[in-house]
Amino acid sequence: MKKAYLVLLIALLGISAIGLPLVYIRYVADDSPYDEDFFFGVSFGLNTTREAKLLIDKVKGYTNLFLINSWEISTNETALNEVCDYAAQSNLRFIVFFSFISRIIYPWHQTWLDAAKARWGDKFLGAYLFDEPGGKQIDTGGWNEHMVDFFKNASTYEEAASLFVNSISSINSTKDLKRRGIPMFTSDYALYWFDYLAGYDCVFVEFGWNHSRAQHIALGRGAANMQGKDWGVIITWTYENPPYLENGTRLLEDMITAYKAGAKYLIIFNYPKINEYGILTEEHFDAMKKFWNLIHSPRKLFWKVKAEAAFVLPKDYGWGMRNPEDKIWGLWPPDSKAPKIWSNMNKLIEKYGLKLDIIYDDPKFNFEGKYAKIYFWNSTLD
């Protein structure tokens, strides 16, 4: 017994020495293999194939995913093929960003999508379509600039929800992916539930700014769990000016939090260019290496957390929920329900932490029996 305690103490001290907060650690004698369905990597948002290859060469030893998040690349067939080929040859899976799937301006998009699976097989994971539709809806009153006028005609939450879901799911770009069976990804910071209803197969919850990690995990994971979809995390800006990204210590903490919460995808956002790799520095790359080594350790040093409780919001209640004054559907100020929801949500996050999901009272999805404890938005909490 004493020997076992000594081994445990040495393991903990060794990890502490490399900067991993002890709060995230548990030593588990588990020799099970690494989860091959977990995808970890960086985004590429610069302009040239040379820059893309440079970044791939930098990270290919400790990542398995590359998000090609570049307008210049996704609108240039030759460049896109070159980057995809290089990523695949480097044994990386990849996702390709499209601001839209073109039928006229870039007609090669259609033939490219037809051939992608045959050319790259399972290395091609899918398409990242549009960007932050839910967040843009809350901040501007439309999920893209062309939809703002349409949403002005919505008079109820139900109408706004229907317009959001139907306008995304019925647009040609979505149809072009769906009819080919190509998975559809995006990142967001609000309205995750409705992103999934609109057809997204996976939404990356954004870790950034001063947003509550636990709250956004609860919203994103809850939506994915109830609707049978995948979810992930993208760690984005903390600051509006250089260095943009948080430091290496905080980055490592965020990566571990995402992994513990059960994210299937984890991406480090990398834009704009402030050095040859983007915004990523050696400090960030070192944190990524530490994370990669930790999750591949033959002895598990932390464990995944599953939701034990659910907080149920009213149907079609498209509140941004970043602060008490956030808008509903980007069209209306907080209503009389908002203070109760805000108060109860924060009490439950304090109680359950990463073990809370936030879901919606939608008859299409039965949450009975899925959680040990259910709390409704108007529950009376101690």
- Domains identified in the chain and CATH numbers: 31-295 (3.20.20.80), 309-376 (no CATH)
Helix or strand holding residue 356 (H, E): strand 356-360
Q: Token pair for residue 151?
A: 């949403």
Report the distance separating Cα 112 and Cα 127, nearest Å.
12
Report the distance separating Cα 380 and Cα 382, nearest Å.
7
What is residue 188's three-state secondary structure?
A: strand
Report the distance separating Cα 295 and Cα 305, nearest Å.
15
Would the pTM count as exceeding 0.85? yes
* Other beta carbons within 10 Å of 261: 23
What is residue 62's three-state secondary structure?
A: coil
In 38-90, DSSP assigns E strands to 39-44, 65-68
Given a contact cutoff of 8 angstroms between Cβ atoms, the answer to whether 63 and 50 are in contact is: no
Give pLDDT tens digits along the chain (382 positions): 333 433 333 333 343 333 333 333 332 333 344 567 899 999 999 999 999 999 999 999 999 999 999 999 999 999 999 999 999 999 999 999 999 999 999 999 999 999 999 999 999 999 999 999 999 999 999 999 999 999 999 999 999 999 999 999 999 999 999 999 999 999 999 999 999 999 999 999 999 998 999 999 999 999 999 999 999 999 999 999 999 999 999 999 999 999 999 999 999 999 999 999 999 999 999 999 999 999 998 876 678 899 999 999 999 999 999 999 999 999 999 999 999 999 999 999 999 999 999 999 999 999 989 999 999 999 999 7
Report the distance separating Cα 243 and Cα 213, nearest Å.
21
Residue 300: per-residue pLDDT: 66
For the chain, helix, strand, coil in percent to 5 are: 45, 15, 40
What is the DSSP-derived secondary structure letter of residue 147?
A: G
Q: What residue has token string 């040379």? A: 50
Cα distances (Å, whole numbers) of residue 55 to 41, 63, 86, 87: 11, 11, 11, 10
Q: Cis omega (within 30 of 0) on the bond before 334?
A: no
Q: Token pair for residue 91?
A: 């044994």
Residues across the chain: 382
Residue 34: per-residue pLDDT: 53
What is the DSSP-derived secondary structure letter of residue 278?
A: B
Q: Would you list the DSSP string of 226-241?
A: HHT-EEEEEE--SSSS
Residue 32: per-residue pLDDT: 40
N- to C-terminal Cα separation, the chain: 42
Q: Token pair for residue 198?
A: 């609109």
Report the distance separating Cα 12 and Cα 7, nearest Å.
9
Radius of gyration of the chain (CA): 21
Residue 10: per-residue pLDDT: 34
Measured in degrees and rounded to the nearest 5, phi and psi for residue 278 equal: 125, -120
